[in-house]
Chains A and B, each alone.
Chain A
């Protein structure tokens, strides 16, 4: 086992001999190493391009502005949550409560608006409510040391239950006056200069998330904790604090996603988002995040979200029924994880 470590090392060792002027070689290798990191993403991106190209030819309705905007609006909720889920999954955690939380915050927001609150304030409160759920998850996981799966499974049920208790499982309808793209509906349906607001929100959030993850202390520690939590702790990283932060971030984004969902119709649906958490996790995994932690990127996750989105959209256009859609998406998840493991095995056959 160890022999192979050394073998690769020896290969590297030769090139690494401190020869003056060897800089270009290192740079070349470094570039190669970085490209290697993107292979998983490129595979998903390749699949995205293939599906996109295929649908462009297969259906005349696919490559139209209306349909493309529709795809973005349809997937804005999943994408927003998936950005936060990427952080959580990189820490080797998981959050099953996001579907329930999105339903809860949506209902809460509509209810507040129905009671006369201005929609921007209701939006902020709904986001905050999502953050509180995230805080609960984070506390259960980092301080009570519950397994993330169990902690958030419980939270999923509790939050859904609370929403049902409050609404008696009946939809909450907001005043029609706030509907439409000029009012509350702007987040889900609005356009500025022909560009959907949902897309702009997503782009801005994605850029922030990407830089948080790749360029800040928070991001680095997210990877370090997921890669080896004990090593992170022994390196002086306040692991609990960062775990807490990561779940709160996901909670806030979920709160926003819940409001995006209800802004289109102005109706808070207590049953919204059942199974949404699985779509989000699937997208993240397809994008190259590892449930074992330490791996994943925002770009990958977005590719994952829209790959699933394209498959769903294309299935509708090509008249494939929704049951078959699910079969296709399930197979895509298998392929993504299978590819990931194959890659991992190749790396570990070189290392351990």
Chain B
């Protein structure tokens, strides 16, 4: 398959997109061929998402042309792009949660007779499309009852319904488990076998090597290179993405575990957690592994007092705590960095300083000491290298990595000695990730006890001294660092025997 011998499905010629003050996409030339998986790699800010929005006509390019099968495409709106056969699967799903699967799939294109929707035809059509994406569920189910992975497949089914020639996916695996990713990839392969092109954005390097036919690397709005997968290896890809070598993606300090800091015994929350016990030492990084829904986040929230528990006890440095609310956990020295920064981590309309001091406001007789607040924030910014010209910027304008640092700063300010990091690297680019993990390592080596929750095994296996594997709300097993293998972890997480995993 010599790409150059075929006609490209899409050809971008000298595409530029300028936002006030930023050239987000800078003179991009790119071909997408029918039946290929074309991965766009690059850090946040490289211009990947903007490029997708230009393709799906959410944004209008400042200059340049887009050719579809050799003919120039006028820019109208996303509906127009859909009619041309360009369909986008959004990172945050664009389904109507209260409607059924079938209603969502045909949304906007319902077949009607005298204005009345033919429901039976709709369900039948949906059933066929769902089969094509390997999703065996009732099309009459309400979308909000589906898992994230299932919703994503519904979106892909929706794309198939409009007879898409190009399917755009923006970090589709961000919230999927390994099993679900494998299924998604086989669905993608099914699409390309039918000649559909898939334009795919990803941060995860291993995934790029699994799924890509060709890889376009972007940096600072420009295309750095477009290469077939066979011409790339991990080091080379990273170098192209960040423009320099990153030595250690997971800078892990030498573990120096001290005495037991946090001991959790028999935490039970009916229907969610069953008799969960574990301990973390000072200076240790403990990982929580497990499938999505296995109870990792729930266990962290239970220890932190965010959800009520039915039984169990929490001990900090040998003293039993009575944790009834996050406030009491914080007072004891426990911090929890939530999985979703925007949903329950940051106060977006407040500025950096105000977010940092949220747990520990410096006050004199309940009056805020603004000078002290400023000093705290500036010190935290300098220490954690939060990139912002002023601590009075709204956190909303920060990148994911810097937002994460603001939350870390908040917990350091609260004098937390035990820190739960729930999926800390989600939505953060390679560079910031390595910086974040270095910070986590430093926090551990300063004598804090760290619990790291992640769905991404390489993160856990590289960063953690020990792993607790959860399955269906139970602790399924515990592994020392020397025992870490993906097979072993997955076997514990799924309950399969190790041999089945190979």
Contact = CB atoms under 8 A, between A and B. Distances in A.
How large, as a class, is the contact surface on chain A?
35 or more
B78 to A, nearest CB: 14
A349 interface: yes
B368 interface: yes
Given A3-B48, A7-B24, A231 B43 contact: no
Contacts of A217: 361, 363, 366-368
A209 to B, nearest CB: 15
Nearest to B90: A1
B49 interface: yes
Interface stretch (A9-17, A103-111, A160-168): A9-17
Contact of B368 (A9, A215, A294, A347): A215
Contacts, number: 168
A256 B325 CA distance: 36
A214 B193 CA distance: 61
Among A30, A219, A227, A234, chain B packs the most CB atoms within 10 A around the CB of: A234
Contacts of B343: 228, 230
A351 B359 contact: no
A231 B304 CA distance: 13
B350 A347 contact: no
Contact of A220 (B348, B368, B399): B368
A342 B320 CA distance: 52
A295 B348 CA distance: 11
A237 interface: yes
Among A8, A294, A348, chain B packs the most CB atoms within 10 A around the CB of: A8
A223 B397 CA distance: 18
Contacts of A18: 382
B366 A218 contact: yes
Interface in B470-492: none
Contacts of B370: 215
Nearest to A351: B396
A224 B368 CA distance: 14
A216 B366 contact: yes
Given A6-B43, A234-B326, A347 B394 contact: yes
B493 to A, nearest CB: 27
A294 B349 contact: yes
A4 B396 contact: no
A236 B390 contact: no
A235 B350 contact: no
Interface string B44-68: 1111111000000000000000000
A29 B390 contact: yes
A216 B367 contact: yes
Contacts of B20: 350
B22 A235 contact: no
Main secondary structure of the interface of A (DSSP, over half): helix
How large, as a class, is the contact surface on chain B?
35 or more
Among A9, A11, A290, chain B packs the most CB atoms within 10 A around the CB of: A9
Contacts of A29: 389-390
Contacts of B45: 2-3, 5-7, 9-10
A232 interface: yes
A234 B24 contact: no
B336 interface: yes
B387 A12 contact: yes
A26 interface: yes
A16 B367 contact: no
B331 A6 contact: no
B398 interface: yes
Interface in A1-58: 1-13, 15-16, 18, 25-26, 29-30, 33-34
Contacts of A7: 19, 22, 24, 45
Contact of B21 (A11, A16, A224): A11
Nearest to B366: A217
A4 B390 contact: no
B222 interface: no
Nearest to B25: A3
B410 interface: yes
B361 A349 contact: no
Contacts of B393: 12, 33
Given A228-B344, A231-B344, A223 B327 contact: no
Interface in A185-241: 215-220, 223-224, 226-228, 230-238
Given A9-B397, A11-B22, A227-B350, 12 more contacts: A3-B48, A4-B19, A6-B44, A12-B397, A33-B392, A216-B363, A216-B367, A217-B363, A235-B358, A236-B359, A237-B358, A348-B396
Sorted nearest first, the 8 A-B pairs with minimum C-beta distance are A6-B45, A294-B349, A227-B347, A230-B344, A236-B327, A236-B330, A30-B390, A6-B44
